[in-house]
Amino acid sequence: MVTGSHDRLLQSFIDALARGFDIKDLGPLHYFLSVQVHTFSHGLHLNQVKYAHDLLFKHDMLLTKPMSTPMSAKDALTATDGALLDNPTNFRTLVGALQYLTITRPDIAFAVNSVSQFMSQPRLPHLVAVKRILRYVKGTLGHGLSFAPQHQPMHLSAYSDVDWAGYPDSRWSTSDFLVYLGSNLISWCSKEQPTIARSSAELEYHSLAHACAETTWLGYLLYELGACIQFPILLHCDNFSATYTASNLVFHARTKHIELDYHYVREKVALGSHRVCFIPSVD
């Protein structure tokens, strides 16, 4: 797969490959590794409609009622509630297929991350949660990623959030972030934290540090690609304590144990490469 903004240079590159290898030019990209590519005058749209449709058909979910959300906000999954599944292979196959669907569906990343915690001993409520994700996918088959041309200088921004102590069995938490280049979503992560956070401010700041590191790496990558990035990079966080700590030199008692992450983000803020902004949770 070859892409670029200079047609003549691209053709010369393809011609050079043809002189060394037996290749066939299939023309403009439309389908690649289950990802469908639709080209419009205003940009690209990537989705996995066929992959999702085949997944629903394979598991007899095409005629089910769609859901408006991928998971329940009230009922937390546990490792002990419900009966063990007679055929756990079916559950693991479903979750693995959904993980591949997150390539173009960041809206189900957190839900898929949640059900992935129970791969070793899946139970009936876990299978119900997976089928809810499939019912949500059925109602949103056309969802995907849209990419539009951006004028330089481009703006890099990130949004970070956490699900604090969301797992009843271990009280571990999940941190999430999204990174945008202009209006284009280019990176995201939903990751379970391996330790217990004693306060939401601590976990929010850990998540902020992950987003800060990701945007720093992307900033260097875009610089090497010749893209002009507008500074400061905006880091959006819905926790006042984490927002203030990023700019305040005075530590509070409850944040002394996150000194390392504090210094990392604080250094970027002091250098002017990043700026932390508060955003209400409702947004």
- pLDDT tens track for 198-215: 677 778 888 888 899 999
**What is the reported pLDDT for 162?**
85
% of the chain with per-residue pLDDT over 90: 45
> pLDDT at position 283, please?
87
| pLDDT(236) > 90 | yes
- What is the token pair recorded at 49? 């409609």
Alpha helices in the chain (DSSP H): 7-20, 49-58, 88-101, 109-115, 124-139, 200-224, 240-245, 259-271
**Which pLDDT does position 274 carry in this prediction?**
92
**What pLDDT, on the 0 to 100 scale, is given for residue 190?**
81
**pLDDT band at residue 170 under the 50/70/90 scheme:** low
pLDDT of 252 > 60? The answer is: no
Q: Which two tokens stand for residue 180?
A: 């945008």
**Domains (range + CATH), the chain:** 47-139 (no CATH), 150-278 (3.30.420.10)
pLDDT at 196: 65
Distance between CA 220 and CA 236 in Å, rounded?
A: 20
Examine the pLDDT at 256 and tell me if it is beyond 60: no
| Residue 70: DSSP 8-state | S
User: Would you place residue 113 in the very low, low, confident or very high pLDDT band (cuts 50, 70, 90)?
Assistant: confident
For residue 228, give Cα distances in angstroms to 7, 16, 30, 225: 22, 30, 29, 9
Residue 95's CB: how many other CB atoms inside 10 A? 21
Mean pLDDT of the chain: 86
Q: Work out the average pLDDT over 166-191.
A: 81
Tokens at residue 81, please? 């509630």
pLDDT at 186: 92
